[in-house]
Structure 1
Amino acid sequence: MNAYSVEEYVRDIRAVVAEETDITAITDRIKPLALRLASDPSWFENKFRHTDPEQGVGLHLLHEEENHDLAVFAIAWAPGRGVDAHNHKTWAVVSGIEGQEHETNYKRLDDGSRPGFADLVATKQETLYPGSAVCCLPEDIHSVVNNGDQVAVSLHTYGRHLNYTGRSTFNVEAKTETPLILKIEE
């Protein structure tokens, strides 16, 4: 199989988004493309393994449209680190590249009408490895942690750059919801 570049991946995603309006159809069609790019080492650089010491996560922007729609990241997760329960407020496709990351999905029990309050219950857990991929819808809530002993790296594709969606992080025990913005690696 020929090398598959980030540029080709973005071109293919643009075509999917131009043809589809249903979010599930979009993510279902992008998933095999994400798996193809994640399995192709030709574009991958060692710097994509770097994690921010404070965040425990390194977000490496590979592509972003000028209007912030369609953003592609290589995200590195330090062992034992991750992101607490959060939503994306956009569709997402995540494919493992190296290592492993454990995901816990949550169901929101309240109706979201009380600012700063969220009542969540865990519903499903799975570990993402190289060669596997998951899709998220805009209101899906999950947490991610690297449950391995080496840096984990995954390919993340979003319908909109995460820091422009108005997404939230959730403290499950305290039942709180607060805005979430993560630092992007230079």
Structure 2
Amino acid sequence: DLALVDIHMPGEDGLSLARHLRERYAKIAIVMLTSAAMVVDRIVGLEMGADDYVPKPFDPRELLARVKSVLRRTSSAGRAELGAAKLRIGRCVLDLAAHRLTNEKGEEVAMSPLEFDLLKALAEHPNRALSRERILNLNQKRDWDPFDRSVDLRIMRLRKKIEPDPDHPRFIRTIRNEGYIFVPDGV
């Protein structure tokens, strides 16, 4: 499913609609349309949950290509590995049903509930940059302060547990000025 959302709509603006859609339908793809071409406008749109941002005027062929691209990235194929409730992450296996992470020897890797929830949130949104705010929203049942660096600390701890070389991460990467992206195959 995909929603094309114009920022300037009568009544509710497109940014708040995108945020509400993302909160209610986590797997929906959202493409924002707008006449506002400022970089800050695009950044805000992406941080509010948009998967892509198309400034007006646009060529319909470009819009179609962007829609197809977003649908490819957010399709169920990207989430197929989660269907079995287990996901291979390099040398580890994340078992979503059992709430545990095991290493290549099958030994359980100690994780706090917050670390598990964070890794699960990243794994449920593969190959998509998630801002710290989005990560906090996905884990809203937890008492995290968006103004501290708790997400960064938990990411650092997770990298030590799943990355072959935590200083050069392959699976949980930092996207400068955006947040973090989970790359299941580490490529």
Instruction: Please indicate, yes or no, whether the TM-score normalized by the shorter chain is above 0.5.
Output: no
Larger Rg: 2
Q: Which of the two has greater helix per residue?
A: 2
TM-score, normalising length: structure 2: 0.31
Q: Which of the two has greater strand per residue?
A: 1
Higher relative contact order (CA 8 A, sep 6+): 1
